[in-house]
Structure 1
Amino acid sequence: MWIENLYEPFEILIRERAVFPVDVHRHTFFELVYIVSGTGRLSAFGREVTYQPGDLFLIRPETAHRFVVETVSRFVFLRFTQQAVADCTGMLAEPFLSAQKEPDPLQLHEDDAGKIQGLFRLIWMEREKPGLSCSDVLRQWSVSALLIVARNLAARTLPDAGVSPAGRLVWLLPYIQRHIGQPERLTTEALCEVFHFSKHYLGRYFRRHYQENLGSYITRCRLRAVENELLNSARSVKEIAWKLGFADASHLAKVFRRHTGKTPLQFRREHRFRQPDHPAADGRFG
């Protein structure tokens, strides 16, 4: 079986293929694969899954895999050595990336899926028409994509009791962000059960490491999520309240006004901006 090495910390490849040039092979590096256009199949971990525009795959080192192209496909490959992953994202991100053991397309949080699509569009455009400091810009965008993937994987992975308290806190933040619309999963009791902390220890340990009360952090995350919905969606306050786990629109408005001094509708009127339409809702860039 062919084994491919990477001779620099980071690499971007953009390819269009009617036939994938290699059969089953392995890498010594991490690879993010974004499908710009086309359809086909990916085989890995003893399973085969289909791919389509907008899909994102993470292939960890030493994973035997192959792509089979059914219709002409455009791929963006972001490649990182294991040392580059540690250097760019910190040692704590690598376990989440290495834990990926399924060939399925990555399922990202709704907001992060849009960010990933935007990042890969930017990477594509920069490679097509390089600008000043192109290599540095591409590296930053690629690392951002890797970090978004890592935090989404972290949110789906829960530590066992044998992991150190500091290690368990690494899982805690993305877990909170992922479940920000499910307040019943973010009570102190629920978090202690999931992350193997005692009730009193969790609060003290969180405050010591993040200089913020756990309850305040959760409230701030919920309000940020509300602001994002007000600015970037057409949802009504009632719909936002339902999505983010508030009892009703009145409850949301009360909490929001207490922390911002404005009602949700006042905030929307004063701050909302219209984002440009995304040119490629189906994952295509051109």
Structure 2
Amino acid sequence: MKSLQLFTDKEITIKELAYNSSGLHKHNFFELIYVLDGSGIHNINSNRFAFSKGDVFLLTPDDEHTFEVNTPTKFCIVDFTKGFFVRNRRIDDTEAGVGKLYKQLEYIFHNHHNIKGSVISSSDRSIFKALIGQLIKEKNKRQFFDEIIIQDIIFLLLHFIARNIQENISIFSKRENPKSRVHEITAYIQQHIYDNELLKVSSIASHFGKSSDHLNRYFKDETGSTIKEYIIRYKLNLVKTRLKFSDLTISEIAGELNFTDESHLNKMFKGAFGKTARQYKNELKH
């Protein structure tokens, strides 16, 4: 199996497959795949999904995949590394820092596997088609502000995907338990995970029109965890994501997620995963 690497922070390519399979491979970067034409089967981590024109797939680092095409197929593929999300990165002093955007998009990297197959809704297919078309134009014709426009289009595409993932999880949760509000509570926590004030149980309770005691009891009855325990667990999973997909130091991650310091983060991380954050980071290098 091939393992592919990317040596720039983003790359946009058009790829055509006329027959058979693309060969099983994995990446150490993110990959957004838009089907311009054709049909077949997309095998992701041993799961098989039918695809056709207009479908969209999102792969995170280390996902294994291959295509089996039924008809000649053309893809627009957007590859981007963790460098695409570096804080305060600028292009010719015109590109805005993307650290805040990365925080908003972390939701995708934790939840994209909750959607089986294509990651966009039918109502978004027309806007995706237009945005991908513009992305290809910007790539092929060098113009003023093309880099920042390309970046903005990629982020807009990812935000559509994030919204669809959240809507799908919400629909599934309501179908499983129509009266439960757990998904709304966890979605609120994930949305405000960097704001300690809004993460206070009293603030969450106020948002949902409940008392703190009532909300905490309700959440524990539904999930088996207190709200505070859920927040810590989600933060620690974000730590894993940051260690794997960014160049931030453990100290910087501790600061962003409002741990007291690196030592506090390491202690909590070891309690949850049996190893410190530094040990986990060192293992990723091997």
TM-score bracket for the superposition, by shorter chain length: 0.5 to 0.7
Superposition deviation, residue 7 in structure 1 = 1.6
**What does 1:232-271 correspond to in 2, within 5 Å?**
none
State the partner residue of 1:106: 119
Of 146, 153, 173 in structure 2, the residue corresponding to residue 141 of structure 1 is 153
What's the TM-score once normalised by structure 1's chain length?
0.53
Specify which structure has the bigger relative contact order, considering alpha-carbon pairs within 8 angstroms and separated by 6 or more residues. 1
Superposition deviation, residue 42 in structure 1 = 0.4
**Corresponding position: 1:62 with 2:62:** yes
Superposition deviation, residue 63 in structure 1 = 1.0
| CA gap 1:139/1:92 in 2 versus in 1, 3 angstroms | closer
Structure 1 runs of 4+ off > 4 angstroms? 158-166
Superposition deviation, residue 113 in structure 1 = 3.0
Superposition deviation, residue 160 in structure 1 = 6.2
Separation (CA, whole Å) in 1 of partners of 2:135 and 2:169: 29
Contact kept, 8 Å, 1:24 with 1:64, in 2: the verdict is yes
What's the TM-score once normalised by structure 2's chain length?
0.53
Equivalent position SS for 1:78: strand
**What does 1:32-111 correspond to in 2, within 5 Å?**
32-85=32-85, 87=87, 88=98, 89-101=101-113, 103-108=116-121, 110=123
The residue identity in structure 2 corresponding to 1:68 is E
Of 195, 198, 208 in structure 2, the residue corresponding to residue 202 of structure 1 is 208
Superposition deviation, residue 86 in structure 1 = 6.7
**What does 1:111-190 correspond to in 2, within 5 Å?**
112-157=124-169, 166-169=189-192
Aligned-pair Cα RMSD in Å: 3.2
Separation (CA, whole Å) in 2 of partners of 1:203 and 1:11: 47
Separation (CA, whole Å) in 1 of partners of 2:40 and 2:128: 21
Contact kept, 8 Å, 2:12 with 2:139, in 1: the verdict is no
The residue identity in structure 2 corresponding to 1:140 is D
Separation (CA, whole Å) in 1 of partners of 2:139 and 2:72: 20
Contact kept, 8 Å, 2:120 with 2:160, in 1: the verdict is no
State the partner residue of 2:256: none
Q: Percent identity?
A: 21
| CA gap 1:21/1:153 in 2 versus in 1, 3 angstroms | same
The residue identity in structure 1 corresponding to 2:190 is G
